[in-house]
Amino acid sequence: MEKLNIVKIGGNIVENETALSAFTNVFANLKGKKILVHGGGKIASKLASDLGIEAKMVNGRRITDLETLKIVTMVYAGLTNKSIVALLQANHCDAIGLSGADGNTIRTIKRPVKEIDYGFAGDMTPTSIHNKRIQSLLELGLCPVFSAITHNGEGQLLNTNADTIASALAVGLASNYDISLIYCFEKRGVLKDIEDEGSVITQINRTHYSMLKEQGIIADGMIPKLDNAFDAISKGVKKVIIKHANDLTDEQAGTTIF
Amino acid sequence: MEKLNIVKIGGNIVENETALSAFTNVFANLKGKKILVHGGGKIASKLASDLGIEAKMVNGRRITDLETLKIVTMVYAGLTNKSIVALLQANHCDAIGLSGADGNTIRTIKRPVKEIDYGFAGDMTPTSIHNKRIQSLLELGLCPVFSAITHNGEGQLLNTNADTIASALAVGLASNYDISLIYCFEKRGVLKDIEDEGSVITQINRTHYSMLKEQGIIADGMIPKLDNAFDAISKGVKKVIIKHANDLTDEQAGTTIF
């Protein structure tokens, strides 16, 4: 099967003009078929605050009310997505910016209201990813660039976690491609010692992961990231890599989950 | 040659939720291959004003400074474009939202500074339209939905007039398709008597146009619209139609320029 790299970048790159410019240059040089998924960052929060719209949080999670949905659609699918695409085009990477509504590429369902009403948050289903459509775009030589906005197929845009989009894309396309799912990160990988960038754990399998969790070496925010990674592996994704954005084209760098 | 409808809608539809919902329903029912181009409307001006950014005008024309470019990219390429795409998808029209940067579909040049510096305004060149790329997307069964944002190929997004984009697309694709370029308008067509919606002039050719201008029946804002239309005709576009959005699927409605 042909290789496909799916790369996710976070707010730390997106909101910093210098970092974004450097990243797009490196990403453009990544060989073969590829997809980019980008998170949001503080531009949306800043815009909301400039407009006097308060961020609504419940249990540390953002609630997407209608005003917030408009803001994230403007920033993620508009300003951020198009800025990235223009920079990639300047680096001779034939990028095409997409929300999940575009070409019906990612169709989600509005998160059901249980204890908390998350508002306009979109959750993945097993059939969310329109893999044939995305494959057609890749076959045209295009590099899809996904913002974290999806739709429900009934006219409603929905806000969706970018990490989740990246892993759903990887799983959804795993029957078509030999996939490496790469999460770019502010560290050089998963670290044995969080204070030491030299302590990258180069490989983690499921047994190793349980051990590292028991020992408290992997904790906090890293756990959902790795759970997500192993979930993708169990669903056919060949490998998941966590690395620094600057190391994107260095195949030895970062932590490989398999 | 296969038929292709290129439809342009303006701010009056885009900024009104009810009108947009009705329009997307009608547009989705338009048979065959089609492209939608949308203008901006007052949402961008309102956002700018809410953020305390003053609209800069010189000789009645908007100057796109960097702050304004960000606003229009957010609104046109983000909120408006994705809302339209989601509504079209809900109406079973397989829409894909594009700026000119996406897939390098429309590459413009920053308007040269002469007496006035228009800022980040993008002007068309004879090679601006990537007709092969747009044709590939149409062949996939997709309906491209263009916002009025383009790029210069060097990483810079540019603000471009939506009427100009629609006519450049029509001209650029005229060697591939039998094109009808349809400008949706708040009136039923070009009117003999501006007060009487029943006075639609059904057909105008170049001779007829000169006459109507001399008689003062066609004046003001209608002149650049029609000049644009005749320019498109002279460059291979089969016909240009000016009609009300509600009459989109009525082939007898509006004014046909040929």
Q: Which pLDDT value is given to residue A19?
A: 93
Strands B122-123 vs B3-9: parallel, antiparallel or unpaired: unpaired
Crossing angle (nearest 10°) for helices A81-90 and A17-28 = 50
**How many of the other CB atoms lie within 10 Å of CB of A179?**
27
**Which residue of A lies nearest to B50 if distances are taken between CA atoms?**
A51
For the cut 80, the answer to whether the pLDDT of residue B216 exceeds it is: yes
User: pLDDT of B95-123, one tens digit each?
Assistant: 999 999 999 999 999 999 998 899 999 99
Tokens coding B123: 């002007």
Rg (CA), chain B: 18
> Which architecture, in CATH terms, is A3-257?
3-Layer(aba) Sandwich (3.40)
Q: Which pLDDT value is given to residue B41?
A: 76
Q: Which pLDDT value is given to residue A58?
A: 80
DSSP A135-155: HHHHHTT-EEEE-SEEE-SSS
Best residue of B72, B87, B89, B140 to probe chain A, by most A CBs closer than 10 Å: B89
Q: Which pLDDT value is given to residue A196?
A: 92
Distance CA A40, CA A245 (A): 16
Cα angle, residue A49 at apex, residues A74 and B65 outer, rounded to 5°: 55
| A36 in contact with B, Cβ within 8 Å | no
DSSP B170-212: HHHTTTTSEEEEEEEESSSSSBSSTT-TT-B--EE-HHHHHHH
* Residue contact B90–A157, C-beta within 8 A: no
CATH number of the structural domain B8-25+32-164: 3.40.1160.10
Distance CA A116, CA B92 (A): 32
Return binding residues of B for substrate: 40-41, 62, 159
For the cut 80, the answer to whether the pLDDT of residue B188 exceeds it is: yes
| Helix, coil or strand: residue A4 | strand
Tokens coding B88: 């079209």
3-state secondary structure B107-141: ECEECCCCCCCCECEEECCCCCECHHHHHHHHHCC
Q: Which pLDDT value is given to residue B222?
A: 86
Residue B10 near residue B147, CB atoms below 8 Å: no
* Residue contact B102–A90, C-beta within 8 A: no
Q: Which pLDDT value is given to residue B196?
A: 92
| A148 in contact with B, Cβ within 8 Å | no
Distance CA B153, CA B162 (A): 19
Residues of B in contact with A102 (CB under 8 A): 82, 85, 95-97
Residue B98 distance to chain A (closest CA, Å): 7
Residues of A in contact with B94 (CB under 8 A): 103-104
Tokens coding A240: 């998941």
**What number is the ipTM of this complex?**
0.95
Strand (E) positions, chain A?
Answer: 3-9, 33-38, 56-58, 61-63, 95-98, 109-110, 122-123, 143-146, 149-151, 157-159, 178-185, 203-204, 239-244, 255-257
Nearest alpha-carbon partner for B144 in B256, B18, B33: B33
Nearest alpha-carbon partner for B96 in B77, B111, B112: B77
pLDDT confidence of B253, banded at 50, 70, 90? very high
| B103 in contact with A, Cβ within 8 Å | yes
Residues of B in contact with A25 (CB under 8 A): none
pLDDT > 90: what percent of chain B?
86
Q: Half-sphere exposure of residue B190, counting CA atoms within 13 Å on the CB side?
A: 29
Q: Which pLDDT value is given to residue B79?
A: 97
* Residue contact B74–A70, C-beta within 8 A: no
For chain A, the structural domain boundaries read 3-257
* Residue contact B78–A83, C-beta within 8 A: no
**CA of residue B99 relative to chain centroid, distance:** 13
Q: Could you say which residues of chain A have pLDDT below 50? A: none
* Residue contact A97–B94, C-beta within 8 A: no
Tokens coding A204: 């983690």
Residue A70 distance to chain B (closest CA, Å): 6
Distance CA B240, CA B181 (A): 5
Query: What is the enclosing helix (H) or strand (E) of B143?
Result: strand B143-146
Mean of the per-residue pLDDT values for chain B? 94
Across residues B50-59, what is the average pLDDT? 86
| B69 in contact with A, Cβ within 8 Å | no
* Residue contact A102–B83, C-beta within 8 A: no
**How many of the other CB atoms lie within 10 Å of CB of A140?**
16
Q: Which pLDDT value is given to residue B221?
A: 81
Count of residues making up chain B: 258
User: pLDDT of B132-155, one tens digit each?
Assistant: 999 999 999 999 999 999 999 999
